[in-house]
Structures are given as C-alpha cells and as structure tokens.
Amino acid sequence: MTEFQRTVFIAAQNLFARHGYEGTSISDIAAKAGVAKSTVLHHFPSKLRLYQRVMKHSIDQFSGILSTHERETVPDTQIEAAFVRLLRWMVAEPVHAKLLNRIFLDNPASASVAARRYWLPLMARLTEVFPADFPMAQEDLRLSVLFIINSIFQMAVSIELQVLLVGERINRDELCRRYEIIVAEFVRENFGGRVLTNH
C-alpha cells in the first residue's frame, strides 16, 4: 500500500468506525484524507470494496494479535497472555472494535448476513489457535471465545469512556491493568491454563 493509499485507508477506517457504512460517503473520505473524490475512486474502485478491505484489515489484525506468541510466555499461560494482549491492543487501537461492532449497528436487518460474512470467519480463525485435541467441544469453545471477545470489546469501550468522563484524574494504564486481571481470571476458569498451538 502506498503512502497515499494508506492515508485514504486510515480516513475511511475512522469514518466507517464512527458513522458506519451508510453514514460515510466517498466524498467524506476524500475530504478527511485531503484529496479529490476522483483520486480516491482511482485507487479504490468503490465504497463497498474499500469498506470490505477496511473490515478485512481489522479482522486480520484482530486474529493476528490473538495468535501471536510471546517467546518469554510460560506455556501454561499462553492462552491467558493471548487474550490479555488482545485487550491491550484493543485499548490502544479502539477503531478496530468500533468497526467490528458497527457491522450490527449499521443495519440490524442484515445482521445475520454480516455475521456470516465477517464474524464467522473471524471466529474460525480465533478458534484455530487452539490445538485440534483441545479438550473442549467445538461449540463450547466458540461460545467461550465469543464471550471473552465481546467482554474485551466492552472493556476497551469502558476504558475509553472512563477516560473521557474523568479526564486526567484517571490513568488509562491502571484501568487496563484492572481489566487484565478480569480477563486472566476468566481465561483460567474456562480454559484451565491450556496451551495454544504455535502458528
């Protein structure tokens, strides 16, 4: 991706996260990126294609964070570390959580289509990081992963809200540490400190 394309992409990412697909136009994206509408369309043929690319990028980032292993991590806590890493990333990059939540906010009538197109592939990728012989039924594993992902979404949004409401009197890092404890406890209770596969 060229520097110009990256500028347009980031503008589109932020606008789609804030206003959704229907609430964002190519003209809006061009204005935010500081370029002509025709130039945007030259590099990105349509709003839908740009939206799909933005969503795929978020899904790739999301699943990549979960499956990236830290070498210093003790094997028994790899799952716990992966979800804590995901929380830290989402707090640092909340645009991705907003985008993935926007899928349902944009058009509740087409939520099932959005779930199939975006969330099912994401869930498949997230559960792939667990070993094939992981001692949990696939349906239970997917539900547990979905529950913790939704919880992390809410934690990230809550941290952002608390910082906005309380301002400088509250420490974002301290809030994140508090939520990390909750995530770690949930993972230990549900996954029992089992080990992730090495991808």
- pLDDT digits 0-9 by tens, 144-179: 888 888 888 888 878 878 877 877 667 778 888 888
What H or E segment, with its residue span, contains residue 48? helix 47-67
What local confidence, expressed as pLDDT, does residue 134 receive? 79
Where the chain has pLDDT below 50, the residues are 70-76, 195, 197-199
* CB 122 within 8 Å of CB 182: no
Kindly report the number of other CB atoms within 10 A of residue 16's CB atom. Answer: 25
CA 55 to chain centre: 10
Provide the token pair at 58: 């978020």
Residue pair 63/126 in contact by the 8 Å Cβ criterion: yes
> Which positions ≥6 away from 175 have C-beta within 8 Å?
159, 162, 163
Report the predicted TM-score, pTM, of the whole model to 2 decimal places.
Answer: 0.74
| DSSP 8-state code for residue 36 | -
Can you give the pLDDT at residue 67?
A: 66
